[in-house]
Amino acid sequence: MIEQLRAKAKEILEKGDASVIIGYGRGSREDVATPVFITDSARIDEMVFNPHCYNNLMTFVTRDDHKRLGTPAVVAKECDMKAAIVLAQEDQVKEDGMLLLSVSCEEMGRADAACRFNGVMTIPQAEEWLKQNYLPAELTPEKLARVEEIEKMPAQERWAFWSKEFERCIRCYACRQACPMCYCRQCIVEKNQPQWLSTSAHPAGNMAWNIVRAFHLAGRCVDCGECERACPMDIPLVSLNRAIQKEVKSAFDYVSGYDHAGKPVMATFRKDDEEDFIK
Ligand code: SF4
Ligand code: SF4
């Protein structure tokens, strides 16, 4: 499979269809893979794909230092493809502004997992592929089991649960840096005129930071889990995000990452909405 992926990436670079391959390379240990940025096809053998390739590579396509490398072809697992679709929907990338080298790795995390190369796709093609192959796996009972356990707690207990989790936050912002949907040039926590949020690690500021981030991701989070994986304090951020995904699905029948040409769900309204807040 890796030979197919390398051959296609090499062809893309040599034909000039993209000027940089954003993919995975060997990490500092056997069980680690790291993002690589390849502009010279002679380096294509640096590419790997295995069950240690976790990073959501769409995180890089909106960053100025990587944009300078030109049109990217990005190795994209299902969550990366969904992130590309949301970025196109939010006008952060053009729908023909990148190629996706679509890959799947069954049961990521298992060293013997089977990896597949699904071909080169544009963003609209990836959307069709995901609808056919991935949408049924969204918000399954298994994925929601922990969310529902937390939701069953009485309100005070639930508040105590999250307060205790967020108390551990050290405000390192690794969750934000790992997230493909956190692409603001200047994050609200770094603005100090006015200062919206306290930036030191203490319970009140931590609660505000984590709630603000979760709400900013409402209807946009693609459930890649990278924020939680990056968090050095093991805060269960995925459960928080999935609780909001569940609300968005129930209120708007909407799952993010499947509609590159549609309006972002939290940035639009219908005049005939039956709720009266809009009238
Ligand atoms: S799971 Fe986390 S990192 Fe991934 S899109 Fe959602 S908030 Fe961002
Ligand atoms: S990665 Fe974890 S500890 Fe760091 S800011 Fe995010 S929630 Fe807090």
For 14-36, the pLDDT digits (tens) are 999 999 999 999 988 988 999 99
Measured from the Cα of 226, ligand 1's closest atom is 3
Among protein residues, the one with the nearest Cα to ligand 1's atom 8 is 179
40-44, 109-113, 212-216: which has the minimum mean pLDDT?
109-113
**Which ligand gives the minimal distance to the CA of 235?**
2
Among protein residues, the one with the nearest Cα to ligand 2's atom 8 is 169
Among protein residues, the one with the nearest Cα to ligand 1's atom 5 is 221
Q: Are 249 and 139 in contact (CB under 8 A)?
A: yes
Question: How large a percentage of the chain has pLDDT more than 70?
Answer: 96
Measured from the Cα of 231, ligand 2's closest atom is 1
Higher pLDDT, 277 or 170: 170
> For all residues of the chain together, what is the average pLDDT?
91
Mean pLDDT, rounded, for 174-201: 88
pTM of the model: 0.91
Residue 112's pLDDT band (cuts 50, 70, 90): low
CA of 169 to the centre of ligand 2 (A): 5
Residue 180 confidence (pLDDT): 97
Cis peptide bond upstream of 194, omega within 30: yes
Residue 254's pLDDT band (cuts 50, 70, 90): very high
Measured from the Cα of 230, ligand 2's closest atom is 1
Q: What is the pLDDT of residues 61-73, one digit of tens each?
A: 999 888 889 999 9
pLDDT above 80 for 94:
yes
Question: 214: closest CA among 183, 186, 175?
Answer: 175
pLDDT above 70 for 113:
no
CA of 124 to the centre of ligand 1 (A): 21
pLDDT above 70 for 54:
yes
Residue 211: Cβ within 10 Å count? 14
Segment (H or E) for 149:
helix 141-151
Q: How far apart are CA 243 and CA 66, in angstroms?
A: 33
212 CB near ligand 2 (under 6 Å): no
- 205 dihedral zone (left: phi>0; alpha: psi -120 to 50; beta): alpha
Q: Is the dihedral of CA 145, 147, 152, 156 positive or negative?
A: positive
